Amino acid sequence: MIPTPADLGAQNRPVRVLHLEDSPADHELVRLTLRRAGVAYAMRHADTLAGLQEWLEREPFDLILADYRLPGFTALDAWHLVQQRPGHPPFVLLSGAIGEAAAVDAMRAGFADYLLKDDMARLPHVLARAMEVAEARRAREQAAAELVESEQRLAALAEHLQTSIEEERAAIAREIHDDIGGALAAVKFDLAWIGRHAQEEALSRHTATATEMLQHAIDAAQRLMMNLRPPVLDEGLVAAVRWLAETFERRTGVRVSVASSGDTLHVPPAVQLVAYRTAQEALTNVGKYAQARQVRIDLSDHEGVLTLEVQDDGQGMAPEALKKPRSFGLKGLQERARRVGGWMDVSSRPGHGTLVVVSIPLGSADD
């Protein structure tokens, strides 16, 4: 909808205009034009850059109206002064004879609009449109700022939740090791004693069966503990990833090879955990969906960047599968990498396997 002069007059207060003009007659003509159009306005007048600066510091304005050539400077000089101020008002060029090149330069510089003085009757419409566009721009900027703030709050919440989850995992792993593991081990010793001293064959059979079931429970507790927070992480990332690969290979029968730029990679604990969880999630996805025959894991810390690559030769994924709204596993890995200053990428094609890559600058992670 095209704004009209009535839109200017519909405000609860007068339109605050700063007019940069060296001709008193032209200044009066602007005032008369707005008055005849029924625009309620409050106008200030300046004819020097110093005067412009003084008014900008004293009052807020809805719009600045400027001639192009003034004694000692041009409207472009005035615009450079105005645009340095945050939330500056729209700047409209109102001039006499102005070349097309100068008008184009003004619009490229960021002027809201321009109008020839010979076409003064259109001034109210030009001002209304400039203010409407400026208001829309401010609304977009505010919405963008609110979106950034919202994303930052969500990222902070995600980081807090992830930290809490890792702390809870570690606490549960310790409890399984200290309490449940200790109790199961004690029961196993007692069953072994009973088995050695049992006189009846039936009692020996039941004891052996109970011991076998108990061993399954012990193995399950150990698996839970290792998945929650494997103690092998204390031996370093390379050792932890190798253990993860060996465990996955024994469980699934899928061959996994691990290559590393060194037996020991010196990385901060936060980065180590991100890389380990990425490898863990990637292998989990391979076991569930890929139908792969082999997986290759590469670890390197060349040029101060930790890089983990997990590649399989499975059935791959279509591009739209990577964009599913509920792909929380991959999105969670991307967020983990982002929190330590890195990035994660997944590339895949049907029938050509999947490649998961996470890269983290070690310097930024230390900071």
Sign of the dihedral defined by the CA atoms of residues 267, 271, 277, 283, in that order: negative
pLDDT at position 297: 96
Residues 238 and 353 in one domain: yes
Q: Which residues span the domain enclosing 326?
A: 232-367
**pLDDT tens digits, residue range 94-137?**
887 777 777 777 888 888 888 888 888 888 998 888 888 888 88
Residues 134 and 19 in one domain: yes
Q: Which residue, 106, 121, 142, sits at the end of a domain?
A: 142
What value does the mean pLDDT take over residues 16-36? 92
Mean pLDDT score of the chain, rounded to an integer?
Answer: 84
The answer to whether residue 356 is domain-embedded is yes
The answer to whether residue 280 is domain-embedded is yes
How many domains, in total, are found in the chain?
Answer: 2
pLDDT at position 190: 86
Bigger pLDDT: 231 or 298? Answer: 298
Bigger pLDDT: 3 or 102? Answer: 102
Model's pTM, two decimal places? 0.52
Residue 364 has pLDDT above 60, yes or no: no
The answer to whether residue 212 is domain-embedded is no
Report the CATH number at residue 77.
Answer: 3.40.50.2300
What value does the mean pLDDT take over residues 3-23? 72
Q: Which residue, 142, 166, 189, sits at the end of a domain?
A: 142
What value does the mean pLDDT take over residues 322-350? 78
The answer to whether residue 327 is domain-embedded is yes
The answer to whether residue 154 is domain-embedded is no
Residues 134 and 256 in one domain: no
**pLDDT tens digits, residue range 190-231?**
888 888 888 888 888 888 888 889 888 888 887 787 777 777
Report the CATH number at residue 261.
Answer: 3.30.565.10
